[in-house]
């Protein structure tokens, strides 16, 4: 009986091999060349010429702020205006954040006293107030998102607590800020 089963299996295998190789199928291929993949970019631009001035045609990614906070005193509360715009070539929105990256002068005296808030021109949406030292230690979310091609009037609000003493008199610090626009996940 084993011989019969082995013989039958051998016949099935031989038939499968002969049958499987007894015919061929046609095939055809095409070539697609010049398939290009081009990426866009994220691009955030800055413009400021002082409070109340509408943007001109010259926008930049690196600027020396044209106005300064001068003659600050205990109880001071003021702001300066600037514009940001999203000129990304990719159709993306950018979430804004900021960090104070460098400072000179009387930083040690002024950084724990002066507070700053970055946000919209109405003072309704923004980062919250942090000392200059806090801005220097960590990037802060501004809680504003710019759609592609959108520009927005922004303000940096500055306060000096009313209990700040004479230790801040006649002091100056010059700071550098980095404002970052990060793509919002689709």
Q: What pLDDT does 62 receive? A: 81
Whether 7 is covered by a domain: the verdict is: no
Q: What pLDDT does 148 receive? A: 97
Per-residue pLDDT of the chain (186 residues; tens, 9 = 90+): 666 665 656 655 656 555 555 567 999 999 999 999 999 999 999 887 665 666 666 788 887 776 789 999 999 999 998 899 999 999 999 999 999 999 999 999 999 999 999 999 999 999 999 999 999 999 999 999 999 999 999 999 999 999 999 999 999 999 999 999 999 998
**Interacting residues of 105 by C-beta distance below 8 A, sequence separation 6+:** 171, 172, 173, 174
CB < 8 Å & 24+ apart, contacts of 62-69: 69/158
Q: What pLDDT does 86 receive? A: 96
Whether 102 is covered by a domain: the verdict is: yes
Spatial distance between the Cα atoms of 133 and 110, rounded to a whole number of angstroms: 9
Whether 158 is covered by a domain: the verdict is: yes
Whether 4 is covered by a domain: the verdict is: no
Q: Which of 168, 177, 171 is nearest to 105 (CA)?
A: 171
Spatial distance between the Cα atoms of 178 and 176, rounded to a whole number of angstroms: 7
Q: Which domain holds residue 95?
A: 44-183
Residue 168 tokens read as: 């801040």
Q: What pLDDT does 7 receive? A: 61
- This prediction's pTM: 0.79
Whether 5 is covered by a domain: the verdict is: no
Q: Specify the number of domains making up the chain.
A: 1
Spatial distance between the Cα atoms of 178 and 69, rounded to a whole number of angstroms: 18
Q: What pLDDT does 107 receive? A: 98
Spatial distance between the Cα atoms of 123 and 12, rounded to a whole number of angstroms: 85
Whether 24 is covered by a domain: the verdict is: no
Q: Indicate which CATH number applies to the domain containing 60.
A: 2.60.120
Residue 108 tokens read as: 């040690």
Whether 55 is covered by a domain: the verdict is: yes
Whether 108 is covered by a domain: the verdict is: yes
């Amino acid at each position: 009986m084993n011989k019969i089963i082995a013989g039958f299996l051998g016949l099935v295998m031989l038939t499968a091999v002969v049958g499987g190789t007894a015919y061929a199928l046609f095939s055809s291929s095409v070539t697609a060349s010049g398939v290009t993949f081009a990426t866009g970019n994220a691009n955030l631009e800055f413009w400021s010429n002082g409070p109340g001035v509408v943007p001109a045609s010259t926008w930049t990614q690196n600027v020396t702020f044209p106005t300064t906070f001068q003659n600050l005193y205990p109880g001071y509360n003021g702001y300066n205006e600037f514009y940001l715009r999203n000129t990304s070539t990719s159709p993306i929105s950018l979430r804004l954040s900021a960090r104070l990256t460098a400072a000179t002068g009387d930083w040690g005296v002024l950084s724990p006293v002066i507070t700053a808030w970055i946000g919209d021109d109405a003072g309704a949406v923004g980062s919250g107030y942090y000392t200059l030292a806090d801005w220097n230690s960590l990037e802060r979310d501004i809680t504003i998102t710019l759609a592609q091609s959108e520009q927005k009037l922004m303000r940096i609000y500055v306060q000096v607590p009313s209990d700040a003493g004479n230790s801040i008199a006649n002091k100056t610090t010059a700071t550098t800020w980095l404002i970052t626009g990060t793509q919002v996940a689709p």
